[in-house]
Chains A and B, each alone.
Chain A
Amino acid sequence: MKKKGHPFWEDLKKNRTKWLMILPAAVVVILMCYIPMAGIVLAFKEFNYHDGIFGSPWAGFKNFEYFFQSGKAWTTTRNTILYNAAFLCVNTLLQITCAILLSELAGKYFKRITQSVMFLPYFISWVVVGAFIYNMFNYEFGAVNSFLRSIGQEPLDVYSNKAAWPVILIVVSAFKNVGYGTVMYLASIVNIDGEMFEAADLDGATMWQKIRYITLPCIRPTVVILFLMAIGTIMKGDFQMFWQVTGNNPMVLEVTDVIDTYVTRSLLNLQEFGMTSAAGLYQSALSFVLVLIANYAVKKVEPDYALF
């Protein structure tokens, strides 16, 4: 190496230990993220396992044509966006409500217990949530149907009922995520300067006024940032949730299939590599653009919180 090389090589020499310390983590990321990124050429190839990613012949845009003409592009994109938008709105609303209620209540034990109980579902695997769904909605033995039968109602067959799934999925998403977000918003409410509330008390403000004019405006930046960031990820379905909760039931796929479940199912069952990677690239590219837009929006609202 030259005496005064590029500053990068100089630094590599000077901070040898630091670079070595970062190397293992970087290697994992290169193996698991960066090298597979090069595999997006697969979307433009007619893949066969023998020739590998780079040896397979080119296919132009055929994989994309196939994906868009299958009609799956539209249904899965629509489902992904609509579900994520619904989850985002319902969960955010519930999280903020719970955080405000918890912050205002005085009962220490009641607060601690309800917060713990609501946070609990965050820690269990989606497989276990799948077991919950089976336990409740199974046609023959499910708890919902035993309840309906016991009060003399017709049992419900959710596995062939398209209208039921948006409701079930929204409730399950809330079940799993409300506790987490509540803890997060509660932290930002606790950080509000207590003197504001004392001053409001002296002025005789009512509960509602304090929430409306102190709590909500103070947590607004957090809400706005998290909301915008979430919009950046609206093209990524919560794969594990959709896979385990709907169980890939073919009867209702039209209303439950998101891009991730579609890609995974086609990959595992049909070994359909070209079209699925085209679908994957379509999703990645759209997500990336959305993240850039979301970041731009955050920069406009709260420059300090922009990601880059």
Chain B
Amino acid sequence: MAKRKSRGGKPVGRDRILFNILSYIILTVLSAACLLPFLLVLSGSVSEQYAIQLHGYRLIPETFSFDAYKMLFRIPEELLQAYGVTIFVTLAGTLLGLWLTSMAAYVLASRDFRYRYQVSFFFYFTSIFGGGLVPWYIFNTKYLRFHNSIIALILPILINVTYLLILKSYMMGIPEALYESAKLDGAGDMRIYWNIALPLSKAGLATVGLFIALNYWNDWYNAMLFLDEGRRDMYPLQYFLNNILTKAQAMNAAAARSGIPASDVPSEPMKLAMTVVATGPIILLYPFLQKYFVKGVTIGAVKG
């Protein structure tokens, strides 16, 4: 951070005071606006169904009740299943994606690799031109047979070219001399990658890994394209939530499968309780992980 705080005991000017007041107001208002939807959902999820039907959602609930959460835990099978799918897909996709991306990044970052520009362009080109959704969809369903397959939730977002280029520029920062001396000691590429490149780019790996994990955690699109309605057991968390929110009967049907009559289901607060449960892990982890994301954005900004 540039040090610009020392103002050498000069009297604070009127413009500075005005600027500070304006800044505090603008930033507070914008932050409040960003926080408001989260608070509304949280408050709606602890409201009572009748209060919502009577007066609608409010920022401060008239009466507190945890009925919606209790009901969620009375019919936990589908929610837990969706959690399981998402956790599996996120773990598998992140580990595999990080491994493949970092290997490719290592090669593209090595200066003695003759075709690194051509291969970089081979990857980069896919981000500026594509065949469009339809050929991709048909190829995946008809020829790769991804229909109702867990691979369809992993493969499409496994390799992200932006992350590849971020890792590449990270690894270009490792001193060449380290590679050279390892090579003189007779180490092969795989060994240099594993013992030198990876340990020295831990921060970059953490950042890219978290971005990949976030993409998997938040993905619902591939589930929408490739999973049939009959395969509810394969729905990842976000698509499960999407289904509850957009299909009015989905919640009641889920309750009915557990033998709970539709009239007992507090459907409105439950939708929001479901939203809270699906977002919870991200919000809870956010304070600890934020710095890595900031780092990623910053590298991305410098390197394009």
A22 contacts B268, C-beta separation under 8 Å? no
Inter-chain contact B100/A135, CB cutoff 8 Å: no
Taking a contact as CB atoms under 8 Å apart, the answer to whether A132 and B133 are in contact is: no
Given contacts A39-B139, A267-B137, contact A18 B189 (CB under 8 A): yes
Q: Cβ of B100 and Cβ of A28 under 8 Å apart? A: yes
Interface pair A127/B142, CB less than 8 Å apart: no
Interface class of chain A by DSSP: helix
Chain A positions within 8 Å of B103 at CB level = 21-22, 24-25
A53 to nearest B CB, angstroms?
6
Chain B positions 101-127 with a Cβ under 8 Å from a chain A Cβ: 101, 103-104, 106-108, 110, 113-115, 119, 121-124, 126
Q: Does B264 contact A (CB under 8 A)?
A: no
With A37-B129, A134-B271 in contact, is A143–B246 under 8 Å at CB?
Answer: no
- Please, how many residues of chain B have a CB less than 8 angstroms from a CB on the other chain? 111
Known: A117-B34, A180-B297, A277-B135. A146 touches B56 (CB 8 A): yes
Q: Are B282 and A184 in contact (CB under 8 A)?
A: no
**Chain A residues whose C-beta falls within 8 Å of the C-beta of B230 in the assembled complex:** none
Given A183-B298, A277-B132; A21-B275 close (CB under 8 Å): no
For chain A, give the interface size range.
35 or more
Which residues does chain A contribute within 8 Å of B30, judged by CB atoms?
94, 98, 114, 118, 178
CA distance A193 to B104 in the complex (A): 35
Q: Is the CB of A124 within 8 A of B122?
A: no
Q: Which residue of B lies closest to A304 (CB)?
A: B304
> With A36-B139, A102-B27 known to touch, is A276 a contact of B56 (CB < 8 Å)?
no
Cβ-defined contact, A110 with B13, below 8 A: no
Q: Which A residues contact B (CB, under 8 angstroms)?
A: 7-8, 11, 15, 17-19, 21-22, 24-26, 28-29, 31-40, 42, 47, 49, 52-53, 94, 97-98, 101-102, 104-106, 110, 113-114, 116-132, 134-136, 138, 140-143, 145-147, 149-150, 175, 178-180, 183-185, 187-188, 190-194, 197-198, 201, 206-208, 222, 225-226, 229, 232, 239-240, 244, 247, 260, 263-264, 267-268, 273, 276-277, 279-281, 283-284, 287-288, 291, 305, 307-308
